[in-house]
Amino acid sequence: DIVMTQGALPNPVPSGESASITCQSSKSLLHSNGKTYLNWYLQRPGQSPQLLIYWMSTRASGVSDRFSGSGSGTDFTLKISSVEAEDVGVYYCQQFLEYPRTFGGGTKLELK
């Protein structure tokens, strides 16, 4: 199985500051078709996860442009510019290159 490892944030993050969440995969998620098979989700307190980013860097419909995804084949970053109260929650990365699909352990974002 592909292991997904997420980094921690230096919480709490001051409102208005940027935050970067890292995720590393044990195998490259770059497919021969040029696409990278990585999703980012946000789970706000008491809610179900919401897709933020797919194909490593494509924002899902309705997602603020304050969220951006980048990376290489095995190292990925979700950047949140100007953190707001609605960004509080746990962020998960997930690979969908291979079965079984696997998730990172989550990164909690708290607001100062």
Partner 1 sequence: EVQLVESGGGLVQPGASLKLSCVASGFTFSDYWMSWVRQTPGKTMEWIGDIKYDGSYTNYAPSLKNRFTISRDNAKSTLYLQMSNVRSEDTATYYCTGRMRWGQGVMVTVSS
Name the minimum Å distance from CB 13 to partner 1: 19
Among 37, 40, 54, 91, binds partner 1 (CB under 8 A): 54
Over the window 56 to 95, marking each residue x when it contacts partner 1 by CB under 8 A and - when it does not, the resulting string is ----xx----------------------------x-x-x-
Is the CA virtual torsion 24, 30, 31, 33 positive or negative? positive
User: How many Å separate Cα 92 from the centre of its chain?
Assistant: 5
Tokens 């190292």 correspond to what residue? 75
Tokens 């990278």 correspond to what residue? 36
Indicate whether 51 belongs to the interface with partner 1 (CB under 8 A): yes
* Alpha carbons 101 and 88: distance in angstroms, whole number: 25
Say if CB 42 and CB 50 are below 8 A apart. yes
Looking at residue 62, the DSSP 8-state letter turns out to be T
- Interface with partner 1 (CB under 8 A), residue total 17
Indicate whether 103 belongs to the interface with partner 1 (CB under 8 A): yes
Among 23, 49, 71, 87, binds partner 1 (CB under 8 A): 49
Residue numbers of the site for partner 1 (CB under 8 A)? Answer: 48-51, 54, 60-61, 90, 92, 94, 99-103, 105-106
